[in-house]
Amino acid sequence: MAEKEEKFTPIDKLGEFGLIDHLTKEIKLIKASSIKGVGDDCAVLEFLNKQTLVTSDALVEGVHFDFTYVPPKHLGYKSVVVNLSDIYAMNARPTQIIVNLAVSNRFGVEFLEQIYKGIKLACDVYEVDLVGGDTTSSYSGLMLSITAIGEAEEKDIVYRSGAKPNDLIVVSGDLGGAYMGLQLLEREKAVFMENQNMQPELKDFGYVLERQLKPEARKDIVDLLEKLEVKPTSMIDISDGLSSEVIHLCRQSKTGVRLYEEKIPIDPSVYKLCEEFKLTTTTVTLNGGEDYELLFTIDINDHDKIKANPNLTVIGHVTEESDGMNLITRDNKAIKLNAQGWDSLLNKS
């Protein structure tokens, strides 16, 4: 029986404005601060008595993702989440996004529909409005750039620069899963390229694959800290690897750190895969990146408020700058931390 041919509608059949209208026709505004969204020269927003936060991030085919194993709907979802994570990392809440898409003619309208389904799903989950953007042509591949906008009371915003000696270093969730998910996908891709009759063996690795393909921003942690009446002294999200993010906090705060290897939270599936790939879990968690967990410091007097919470783990403490930035190994040796995580100017998928 012949396979059903997939529908392919050329982008130029709709034209730029027709394509935007088509892709955004299901978008509804829900935020009071969204006065005007898609359909005019500019979005119109109104923020009353709060400060506005703006962040932007681009995902480029061949650098940040590979369509061999990244479904377009997942890409749309992830592109929103990685930007919202930056808003949450400043103890704020996202309100709107703007989507810019550059695409070559090898992609049809149906493919872009799937990307926008992922974008809309993320907007629904995180309760943000899509209020504008641009679609243009690309000579090669696809590029998706999201600008996220958020709001917060001035007193609630947390910067990277507020850590002080004796503060505790806390991380949400667990680390290393996204990186091992990527290693697994790259391995199965290599097998497939050698023999396209081979089916990928992925059924037992759902957790790490989801961490890579469909990460979640930690909105819940911002809500949790507010409920616990804990305001971090500094905060950042873990996009480039734990070591890089710890170093960012220390440099901005002009402090040192003692990070304890044995305290880093790791899912059992990551241990299993690290053994299979002959990688150390410490290397993976320090340098892997894309976990999008929140890393933050708190005053030591707030320890009792968070110590019993299963979502949070204390992994070290802040020291004087002169003490340096060190990883304390399981055998109690101090090793200087190095930023060996993702560098967007040097790395590619």
What is the end-to-end Cα distance of the chain in Å, rounded? Answer: 37
What DSSP character marks residue 50? Answer: S
Q: Give me the percent of the chain exceeding a pLDDT of 70.
A: 93
322: domain range? Answer: 168-336
Q: Is 147 in the same domain as 177?
A: no
Tokens of 339: 């930023």
pLDDT in tens, 232-280: 999 999 999 999 999 999 999 999 999 999 999 999 999 999 999 999 9
137 and 214 inside one domain = no
Residues 97 and 186 placed together within one structural domain of the fold: no
pLDDT band at 341 (very low <50, low <70, confident <90, very high): low
> 88 with 292: CB under 8 angstroms?
no
In angstroms, the Cα distances linking 302 to 140, 145, 156, 161, 229 are 51, 38, 16, 19, 9
Q: How many helices (H) and strands (E) does the chain have?
A: 10, 13
> Which pLDDT score is estimated for 349?
44
When pLDDT is averaged across residues 98-105 and rounded to a whole number, the result is: 93
Nearest to 138 by CA among 55, 62, 209: 62
SS3 255: coil
- CATH code for the domain in which residue 96 is found: 3.30.1330.10
The pLDDT assigned to 5 comes to 55
Mean pLDDT within 96-100: 97
Tell me: pLDDT of 96 over 90.
yes
Considering the domain boundaries, does residue 343 fall inside one?
no
User: Both 58 and 151 in a single domain?
Assistant: yes
One domain for residues 16 and 109: yes
Residue 110 exposure: Cα atoms within 13 Å on the Cβ side: 5
**Residue 231 forms part of a structural domain:** yes
Which residues sit opposite 65 in a β-bridge?
61
Predicted confidence (pLDDT) at residue 7 exceeds the cutoff of 90: no
Could you tell me which of 336, 224, 240, 231 has the C-alpha nearest to residue 287? Answer: 240
Within 13 Å, how many C-alpha atoms sit on residue 325's CB side? 18
Q: Is residue 327 part of a domain?
A: yes
Model pLDDT for residues 39-89, shown as the tens digit of each residue: 777 889 999 899 999 999 999 999 999 999 999 999 999 999 999 999 999
173 with 129, same domain: the answer is no
CATH for 192: 3.90.650.10
User: How does the average pLDDT of the chain come out, rounded?
Assistant: 91
The answer to whether residues 182 and 101 belong to one domain is no
Q: Which of 26-40, 169-183, 280-294 has the lowest mean pLDDT?
A: 26-40
The residue type of 55 is T
- Does 79 fall in a domain? yes
158-179: average pLDDT: 98
Q: Which band of pLDDT confidence, cut at 50, 70 and 90, is reported for residue 342?
A: very low
Considering its fold, how many domains does the chain have in total?
2
The rounded Cα 349 to chain-centroid distance in angstroms is: 16
Query: Residue 24: its pLDDT value, please?
Result: 74
